[in-house]
Structure 1
């Protein structure tokens, strides 16, 4: 009998091309309010999107603007203002508080092989300043990442604040000639005269995955009128500054400082690094600590009335992502209060806690009392409004269609958000935030719709582990999975199943648009996304239950989920495959070793294979110990018993039982799970005669997110599944 699974490579490629063109909504800004001569009010909503360009093998960025006409906190009319246009070379951009100026950090290559950074200031319809930061040589490259990076206007709109790599003295050989060649370049002569001998090859720590080369950040200020750049002094030497903004009255700068002593650990996806909120007083040249210095804090946001700063807080070390506290610091009383504390379990009210990688850049309501944020709540991403005085939490999306929401910005109570589901790409929505106590009356208006894909059906499945798989310290914790299925029926044969546990392990699948699952489902596969115990969004107890039980609790959760859906859905138990990345790859390799009779094929991206061998090469050695159940300290010494336990919890322990063919995809520049992990597994499988193929992507890190790697990876994955599931 014939299956309905799409098999021909050219058809699969065409389907991937079609769905990869669905753009991702990246950011939004609300422009100044304009009042017409007839009393009507309107504003513009500026949005930025990204999209894969397979021909250029790059991710392009484009913008589109919309008009929103409103009256008395109600939207009267909204619609696009013109077509979209591509954005070239912008690394960061920020409008001034009044909306009359815009700052842009841009990269450009004016000559062959040279790349320069420019800081531009735009006013109305022209560029009024363009500062070549590279030529000034006051600092190294400006940080454009979302970990340290910022571009902040002073309230007076006269200065710009940003973060850049601190300039290092030029280093040269001990044997460099002291005789300077005749040159008209006095600056070059001066640099040579200040060069440090014998330090060309000194190792400089950086902040790891996606932050390679970022070592010593510095706070920098541009005087917009004069064009002068200065590097702020006074930052404590033991911390690296970032996420900075101007204090009330422009008297100084507020920033987050991350401890980098005794050495730096990877920061990407790690909200557990010791850090604190600091203030540099520019009038008195002193630095002041504003928060507890034993915690991990991030994402500070100043209220519109410039009286309070809201930020997120976690415990230092432990799981890399956890349930967070929402804290508020009062600028004038100097008092810090915890608005929302860690939630151990979901109680009678539906709120399960805050699990944010960041607050929206603008998150305060106009009343400076309420904060809007998005966070996972079980397997959904919801928009919440938090009243900072009482700590009350109200969902803005509980009555909305099932799916996931993200807050992009809120300005003068006009809230801009995106919404998507596993069967519908991102749509752009706006609404006015109702007054306090009336938040549930929010009325959403769609600015940019996306067509749902009728061929995909999906549902969230709640799961309770059987009694024998309960964690005795954390009994009663449940979990969930999201099952995607082709909605046009199963055809002559039952559906093949692709099982995808997420990475982390402390992350989560939300009911949102994801390219790989969508294309697989359109091909004719059922796709099972498993949020095993330890996932975000289910309470802190769920997170805490997993460290010390990786390779056991999470593996059994996934297997139990697979067995349940095979019993209850029209799925083919003889055609089940695993796909996973990072810790998801760790679980996939565990499952094909522990349950070899269940799975017929496996595809893994940068998988953790041997925790014991990974600890000495990863940018997150603390992860290896923490997830294996041991405490971490920077001065931890090798311990044979702990290494044995880490190996015991690793997929390598079960490699002799593997029967399924394995496709490995590795990023050559991966600092998180270095490629030697996958190579170790490749050799072990080859030695045992198991069919195995390895793809090594140069220039790619842990995410394998380049357009070329993502597209090639999907095609190889799809063809591997088709071949070995005999579709």
Structure 2
């Protein structure tokens, strides 16, 4: 009965979808039943491959009638959906981004001018198209502002970066080559190109424009440019027909060839093949290029700026240096790489030299000074406009803890006017915030500085920073350390600082359901301390999107949820005990009180954050009718250092539990359905995705993983950040434990923390402790060795050039799922790195994810009006039974509490305990509860009072835990039976066979079946267990004998025979059994209706027909669903007709 009741809740929410979508469902390799439908009823998972192939062949035959060839993975039905979704996704993809912005003084002296650097996906070229758009800014009365946009943007073909000079009178345009061609520098004025220089590879390679090493800085006279570029390539050995050629050759010679030479290490992910970043200087009048000498070869340089002029002839350059000793670990997204600010004298250019060869500086190499020796991290240097201060960010919390990103701190150095740079004092401006009170500044989380972030007072900086799940704009006084949030506090939109216009701000704001818009901010009264900022809307042509996109987004809404931490303990810090956040995106109103399917979105890192800004890919998924739960679990940026540092050492447990807690929160508040949940994540988000479908396999109906971390033990030896594996596994101790040669103990721990452990988990201990020995006894097969739990259909999106989480990690996991019969799809993009952000790859990846989710959700989200017509009475039935079970559950709990309050001496007897155990189990199973702790406590109480459980209680417990696939607990009770000297019986054997087949342990299931055969079990037990083992012919023969012997007498027997016929595709026999049962006055239950639905579903997949014998069944279904027989017959007829004939 427990199984039948469990089925009803699932099946009634999973009516068969319209035939127009049926063929979009693929068949899992080990089953003849659609993958999602398998999770919705109690059917065996180890079905015969031969029979599965036959069913697949019959389906393929119906599809192959199409006259045209279809892409792999598509059929005639899904192709139409694929085309429709691709068109919609293209509309989202075409929405542009503003990458940078600058403002300049107007030529007329009135107002100002703004220039925006914009990018847009170019799917045909598989690149981002770059263009510039300008606007005149004028201010009217009452602080009103008007932007007059130029008629058309100008495309910047081949442009790598542009950098205006401080006065705005000149513009540097850099064009990096795509091969061994020279790098081109262009100097523009307002009307034309003034200078153009081609810098050959023998001088340096491409200029760094990556946003991290990148640094291009004009001097105050606007005659010199300091910049970071790849150092010149090293000489390679030359060979000819005589062997090695001494002296080599710089010229191409058809009679010789270049060897590879010594391998050159790079900075990992996105830097593959890029040479060491080095510092150069160019005179824009002569074109003379000089390397800045004196910098150690062990330092990679970046983020160069000119220091203010000081007393003396020499000017200094300030830059960031990263040491490469003992090796270059991956630096992309990793702020835990030690770095410092250095100062070096700028070389003196010989302006009279007019060639492009590097000239020797007339000065000797000057010493390079480390300005920040007392702090482990310093980057993003910025001088105040008057040159008094050098301000910089620090990631010392990342460096000191080993976390790849953490809370930033801001520091100041008072710059000496005399040029004496030794022993400079570092002053803390914004310290690391450990834990903040609600609504207070949570700490600094700043990804960059704009080129000129200073207000006119010379001591106030404007920066963007994460504040929980929101990006905000802050003003920071570098003298007092005062921090103010100046973007609106009454909005959950995220704000991104673009540029300053004097003392005003140009920014972009957006939300998950609102495309970006430009806002102009200004101080209401500059004379007042902490004056308020006012924000004006700016009409802009930049972010225009189609009417269809606007319409779809207009009916969506979002909110930021506070999720209380579950199971707060004393060992948690204050910050780690505070609620974390999740962004919930949903429809503005429920339709018929039915929740939309839910997609759980998980960010990577783990120390990053999902902000409440517009993300095109997720807005696309939301527009398809999905709710989104975007979880910022503890360990995310934006919530204080204590919360962040609570995660290292607990990955795979704390973060997973936070996600499950967030899901339970939206289910409990009635905004999400527990049967319609999918999950998506990339990198560490993929780590969580694959962990979740292993730790909570019944919670998710679909999953998508983008370059996921699936096996730390194999990743540690091939990733560019092996230290990450240690820190996230061991915690802070991992920083000192890190080694390039992991021990066996390290690898074992890495594996245990990995998602792949849930596919092939070695069973080492039994309930109560102690190592299990391979003993042979009457009801435990000795060869049991592994547990396989994962069953969620999963799509994998992988980049073949990923150095962070090499694709072999996700591929191994995907293959392991396929080996166990789980439905899997793999997309491999051969030229993509970790982010999978090339336009075509990002587009195709999310298109396939959407189709994947839609395919699965069709079984839980009716799309035809004729199906919706019957949802109301079905929901009523389900709600009544659910409420009844809750009522019974509460009654049993009350009875148990009264029972425990009885006077001393009145010890409950075995019968009382047995009744409680069985009733409680029945209710928990009906309610789909997965927490069986109450039963364990009751069992322990029984044994503690020396009330000995009998074989019935053990059977109930073993069967319950078998249903939950809790192998360890189920086998623990088997051991307890053995110790009690109780023999196995039919219930025990059947429960164990069910358990083993549920977790794909076919050998152990077969051995247990052998133990069942000598027993006095009835034919229904043999038949049902044959069915579980995939022995269909044997099971059907037993069923036939049962019928011939007149033993079809109860619901269980009828149910078993009907289920066999349905799964075997014998739909006529299934209908005959159903009719025979009704004529025998045996009341059908939900399992029977489910099996009959499967039979009809498979029948209509094979042939196109009208109603066959449905009229005789209609009164039965009609009575069960409480709808008219006429309407129901019409409904069933529609399900069996081809799409072209549906009305």
TM-score class normalised by the smaller sequence: over 0.9
Partner of 1:472: 572
Residue 694 of structure 1, CA deviation? 1.1
Shift of 1:492: 7.7
Contact kept in structure 2, 1:134 and 1:141, CA below 8 Å:
no
The one of 323, 326, 335 equivalent to 1:262 is 326
Structure with greater helix percent = 2
The alpha-carbon distance between structure 1 residues 436 and 73, as it changes in their structure 2 partners (threshold 3 A), is farther
Mark the structure with the bigger radius of gyration.
2
Q: Which moved more, 1:667-676 or 1:333-342?
A: 333-342
Deviation of the 1:571 alpha carbon: 2.5
Confirm whether residue 232 of structure 1 aligns to residue 292 of structure 2. yes
Structure 1 residues 18 and 76, CA, compared in 2 at 3 Å: closer, same or farther?
closer
Counterpart of 2:700?
Answer: 599
Which has the higher mean CA deviation after the structures are superposed, 274-283 or 367-376?
A: 274-283
Q: Choose the corresponding residue for 2:722, options 615, 621, 626.
A: 621
Tell me, in whole angstroms, the C-alpha distance in 2 between the residues paired with 1:146 and 1:270.
13
In structure 1, the residue matched to 2:686 is 585
1:321 aligns with 2:405: yes
- The 2-side partners of 1:287 and 1:437 are apart by 44
Q: Distance in 1 between matches of 2:392 and 2:797?
A: 37
Pick aligned residue for 2:276 from 203, 212, 216: 216
Contact 1:117–1:133 under 8 Å retained in 2? yes
User: 599-608 or 417-426, which moves further after superposition?
Assistant: 417-426
Confirm whether residue 722 of structure 1 aligns to residue 873 of structure 2.
no
CA distance in 2, matches of 1:206, 1:213: 7
Indicate which of 826, 830, 836 corresponds to 1:698. Answer: 830
Give the number of equivalent residue pairs: 711
Give the structure 1 partner of residue 535 of structure 2: 444
- The residue matched to 1:719 in structure 2 has which SS? helix
Determine the structure 1 residue equivalent to 2:216.
Answer: 151
> Paired residue for 2:171?
102
Range moving further from structure 2, 267-276 or 408-417: 408-417
Superposition deviation, residue 107 in structure 1: 3.5
Deviation of residue 439 (structure 1)?
4.7
Counterpart in the other structure of 1:534: 635
Q: Is the 8 A contact 2:238 2:245 kept in 1?
A: no
Q: Is the 8 A contact 1:275 1:293 kept in 2?
A: no
1:151 and 1:15 mapped to 2: Cα distance? 40
Tell whether 2:146 aligns with 1:77.
yes
Using the TM superposition, give the Cα deviation of residue 198 of structure 1 relative to its aligned residue in structure 2, in angstroms: 9.1
* Counterpart in the other structure of 2:95: 22
Distance in 2 between residues matched to 1:469 and 1:699, nearest whole Å: 47
Partner SS for 1:507: coil
Residue number in structure 1 paired with 2:68: none
Q: Is the 8 A contact 1:209 1:701 kept in 2?
A: yes
Partner of 1:641: 745
Runs of at least 5 residues in structure 2 that lack an aligned partner in the other structure: 1-14, 22-77, 348-362, 418-423, 545-549, 760-787, 862-1143
Contact residue 456 and residue 518 of structure 1 kept, 8 A: no
Change (3 A) 1:686 1:253: same
Offset at 1:491?
5.1
Q: Quote the Cα distance in structure 2 between the aligned partners of 1:191 and 1:368.
A: 54
Any idea what the Cα deviations from partners look like across 1:349-387, whole Å, max 9, x if unmatched? 610001122122221212210111111101110000011
2:600 matched to 1:499?
A: yes
Report the alpha carbon displacement of residue 306 of structure 1 after superposing the two structures with TM. Answer: 1.8
The alpha-carbon deviation at position 430 of structure 1 amounts to 2.1
- Residue 14 of structure 1: how far off its partner (Å): 2.1
Q: Is the 8 A contact 1:301 1:311 kept in 2?
A: yes
TM-score, structure 1 normalization: 0.92
SS at match of 1:480: strand
Unpaired runs of at least 5, structure 1: 182-186
State which of 382, 391, 395 in structure 1 corresponds to 2:485: 395
Q: What secondary structure sits across from 1:352 in the alignment? A: coil
Contact 1:479/1:533 (<8 A) preserved? yes
Instruction: Deviation per CA, 1:143-183: give whole Å up to 9, x if none.
Output: 111111122111110111111111133212465759999xx
CA distance in 2, matches of 1:143, 1:98: 24
Counterpart among 151, 159, 162 of residue 227 in structure 2: 162
TM-score, normalised to structure 2, is 0.60
Change (3 A) 1:476 1:9: same
- Does residue 200 of structure 2 align to residue 134 of structure 1? yes
Partners of 1:394 and 1:440 within 8 A in 2? no
- Corresponding position of 2:237: 172
Are 2:390 and 1:309 aligned? yes
Residue deviations 1:56-95 (CA, integer Å, cap 9, x gap): 4332122211111237994543332332232211111111
Q: Looking at secondary structure, tell me which structure has more strand per residue.
A: 1
Residue 31 to residue 178, structure 1, CA distance change in 2 (3 Å): farther
Of residues 172-181 and 334-343 in structure 1, the stretch that sits farther from structure 2 once superposed is 172-181
Change (3 A) 1:215 1:108: closer
Q: 1:173 & 1:437 partners in 2: Cα distance?
A: 71
Shift of 1:528: 0.7
Whether 1:298 aligns to 2:388 is: no
**Secondary structure, aligned partner of 2:303:** strand
Native 8 Å contact 1:354 1:376 kept in 2? yes
Mean CA deviation greater in 645-654 or 70-79: 70-79
Give the 3-state SS of the residue equivalent to 2:373 in structure 1. coil
In 2 relative to 1, CA 96–575 (structure 1 residues): closer, same or farther, beyond 3 Å? same
Kindly provide the CA deviation profile for residues 261-295 of structure 1, in whole angstroms up to 9, marking residues without a partner as x.
Answer: 11001111111110000000237722111113651
Give the equivalent residue in structure 2 for 1:289.
370
Structure 2 vs 1, CA of residues 192 and 667 (structure 1 numbering), >3 Å: closer, same or farther? closer
Q: Give a deviation string over 1:623-650, Cα, whole Å, max 9, x none.
A: 1000002423565542222221111111
- Classify the secondary structure of the residue corresponding to 2:206: coil
Contact 1:152 1:160 in 2 (8 A): yes
In 2, Cα distance between the equivalents of 1:349 and 1:562? 24
Residues of 1 paired with 2:478 and 2:237: CA distance? 55
Cα 1:161–1:73 change in 2 (3 A) is farther
Q: Name the CA shift for 1:197/1:252 in 2 (closer, same or farther; >3 Å).
A: farther
What is the match of residue 472 of structure 2?
382
- Whether the 8 Å CA contact 2:176–2:206 is kept in 1: the answer is no
Instruction: Identify if the C-alpha distance between structure 1 residues 23 and 488 changes in structure 2 by more than 3 Å, giving closer, same or farther.
Output: farther
**Displacement of 1:191 after TM fit?**
6.5
CA displacement 1:553-598 (0-9 Å, x = unmatched) = 0000000111111121343321211111000000010000000111
Which aligned pairs between 1:476-555 and structure 2 lie closer than 5 A?
A: 476-487=577-588, 489-490=590-591, 493-555=594-656
Q: Determine whether 1:357 maps to 2:357.
A: no
Instruction: Decide whether aligned partners of structure 1 residues 50 and 659 sit closer, same or farther in structure 2, where only a CA change above 3 A counts.
Output: same
**CA distance in structure 2 between the aligned counterparts of 1:336 and 1:276, rounded to whole angstroms:** 12
In structure 1, distance between residues paired with 2:482 and 2:735: 36
What SS does structure 1 have at the residue aligned with 2:204? Answer: coil
* CA distance, structure 2, for counterparts of residue 457 and residue 73 of structure 1: 33
Q: Structure 1 residues 348, 465: CA separation in 2 closer, same or farther (over 3 Å shift)?
A: closer
Cα RMSD of the aligned pairs, angstroms, is: 2.7
The 8 Å contact of residues 229 and 280 in structure 2, kept in 1 or not, is answered as yes
**2:796 paired residue number:** 664
Tell me if 1:271 matches 2:350. no
C-alpha displacement at 1:488, in angstroms? 5.3
Give yes or no for the alignment of 1:632 onto 2:735: yes
